Copies of this chain bind each other. A is one copy, B any other.
Amino acid sequence: MKKRGTGRKKRRLIFDRKGIEAFAIRLKEVRKKTGISQSQLAFEAGISLSQVARIETARINPTLSTVFAVARALNVSISELFLFNLPTE
């Protein structure tokens, strides 16, 4: 008996764990290289500190706007932030 409500089809959202993890690693790497703290990055990017931490620990699936803000704050191009091999899902 696994009726979900009234025969509602289950929506499957995507959460690309591997990709998100790869990005997390890359971001931390770039941030470290510029020598700033998560807190400073958050301030510069205009996002919250908790959000930076959540991204670097791959807990969330950030939006493009957030990524753009981070790239600007780190003074790197978007391409540079994605210099890693996107793992096959």
Task: Please report A residues at the B interface, Cβ cutoff 8 Å.
Answer: 14-16, 19-20, 23, 46-47, 61-69, 71-72, 77-79, 82-83, 86, 88-89
Give every chain B residue within 8 A of A68 (Cβ-Cβ). 16, 19, 86, 89
Contact for A65 among B16, B66, B79, B82, CB less than 8 A: B16
Give every chain B residue within 8 A of A86 (Cβ-Cβ). 68, 71-72, 77-78
Verify B72–A14 contact, CB threshold 8 A.
Answer: no
Q: List 19 A-B contacts (CB under 8 A).
A: A14-B46, A14-B66, A16-B65, A19-B64, A20-B65, A23-B64, A61-B64, A61-B65, A62-B63, A63-B64, A68-B86, A69-B89, A71-B86, A72-B86, A77-B86, A78-B82, A79-B79, A79-B82, A82-B82
